[in-house]
Amino acid sequence: MIDLKFLRENPDVVKQNIKNKFQDAKLPLVDEVIALDAENRATIQEANDLRAEKNKCSKAIGALMAQGKRDEAEEMKKKVAESAARLAELEAKEPELEEKIRAIMMKIPNIIDPSVPIGKDDSENVEVERFGEPVVPSFEIPYHADLFEMFDGIDLDGARRVAGNGFYYLLGDVARVHSAVTAYARDFMINKGFTYVIPPFMIRGGIAEGVMSQGDMDAMMYKIEGEDLYLIGTSEHSMIGRFCDQIIAEDTLPLTLTSFSPCFRKEKGAHGIEERGVYRIHQFEKQEMIVICKPEDAMDWYNKMWSYSVEFFRSLDIPVRQLECCSGDLADLKVKSCDIEAWSPRQQKYFEVCSCSNMGDAQARRLKMRVKGADGKMYLPFTLNNTVVAPPRMLIAFFENNLQADGSVKIPEALRPYVGGMTEIKRK
């Protein structure tokens, strides 16, 4: 959510930003909110004038009564009563207008960074850099579900009977590698100076509205029936929500946090949920990194964060690339975002494994997070988030890139302490 004052003073900038995101249907919202804002400010001014007049009249009535001018005092009392009725009307109108303004402002996308490439959708995202040499082995690589089955490591049919499509059982060595990867990711981020956190896995509706757009919320989140609670789609939501309505001391910034959680997503409208495998699923686990910082430090942290993902995947012998997200592929709250994609030797292409985003002050404004500066003035911090690793999707890249000709899977050196020193896992 952008600053209302900024929109009022720069409507053309806001409209051009909407065009750059190819959301032209939202253009009328700018003029609508400007009109409502003008009406609201006029309402507030009139109410303030009436309060001032009421106070003035109250003093005058007392003076008239003291002078014995009872008739004049009674006339003035009638005038005050009329003003009080109008004031009550205006005071009832103010929150209604403010709520209408807020509802519209929640739909207007954040101002994107000037460096973001303009494009309609993810097909126009821009490759920035590759890390590691993508290799296509001389032997055939099975589809990932078949590959996991070679190690007796997955049961999709059983999961389907228990929960339906989009769920899985991981077993044996595959499950062990899954847990090892998340444990390694935890320590990797702790060694980068991040504080490890296990957050709540459910959040209230107000927090959900504060950290994401309504459209994303409807498409992603599972609601707990009969309660104001939602299962988190990513731990970013509960991690940022922790600071709702809080004043953060400036000398504690930046806050650098890494969290582990299960994640639950409806994947509404997503393609591939019926496919056999674990690429697009309703439940998975993820290690996340969160930064809350001063606005002027946000881009430096953005670049550090995506580079951490690159370093993590390269330590597991997985080639990756950075892909800059274009304007049309950015969620409404994002200022700038990039994906880290892992190489799939089987498909001979890259696929998304991490997403790094600078959210600007949008989440802070929605959640009323503030920082108290050294000068005593309040300002809004910037929030950023990035995936460290999200198995089991990441396991696809891990197994494909570390598969050997004899059917075994090599365990990279960095991961060996987390699997009891094993150097490889063998087919059953």
pLDDT digits (tens, 9 = 90+) for 340-360: 999 999 999 999 999 999 999
**Is the domain of 353 the same as that of 418?**
yes
Residue 114 lies inside a defined structural domain of this protein? no
**Is the domain of 190 the same as that of 67?**
no
**Is the domain of 371 the same as that of 236?**
yes
**Is the domain of 164 the same as that of 294?**
yes
The whole domain housing 80 covers 4-105
256: β partners: 291
Confidence of residue 273 (pLDDT cuts 50, 70, 90): low
Residue 115 lies inside a defined structural domain of this protein? no
**Residue at a domain's end among 54, 78, 105:** 105
**Is the domain of 145 the same as that of 89?**
no
pLDDT digits (tens, 9 = 90+) for 187-197: 999 999 999 99
Report which secondary-structure segment, H or E, holds 171: none
**Residue at a domain's end among 72, 105, 138:** 105
pLDDT digits (tens, 9 = 90+) for 52-66: 887 777 777 676 676
pLDDT digits (tens, 9 = 90+) for 218-268: 888 999 999 999 999 999 999 999 999 999 999 999 999 999 999 999 986
DSSP state of 279: S
| Nearest residue to 249 via CA among 372, 368, 367, 361 | 372
**Residue at a domain's end among 78, 105, 132:** 105
**Is the domain of 297 the same as that of 335?**
yes
| Calpha distance 357→335 (Å, rounded) | 7
Domain of 80, CATH number, reads 1.10.287.40
DSSP string, 330-380: S-TT-SEEEEEEEEETTTTEEEEEEEEEE-TTHHHHHHT-EEE-TTS-EEP
What is the pTM (predicted TM-score) of this model? 0.89
For the ranges 31-40, 66-75, 158-167, the lowest mean pLDDT is seen at 66-75
Residue 408 lies inside a defined structural domain of this protein? yes
**Is the domain of 68 the same as that of 167?**
no
**Is the domain of 131 the same as that of 205?**
yes
Domain of 152, CATH number, reads 3.30.930.10
C-alpha dihedral, 282 to 283 to 288 to 294, nearest 10°: 40
pLDDT digits (tens, 9 = 90+) for 378-392: 999 999 999 999 999
**Is the domain of 197 the same as that of 71?**
no
**Is the domain of 278 the same as that of 376?**
yes
What is the per-residue pLDDT for 268? 66
**Is the domain of 47 the same as that of 151?**
no
Count of domains for the chain: 2
Structure tokens that stand for 185 in this block: 């990711």
**Is the domain of 149 the same as that of 98?**
no
Residue 113 lies inside a defined structural domain of this protein? no
Residue 117 lies inside a defined structural domain of this protein? no
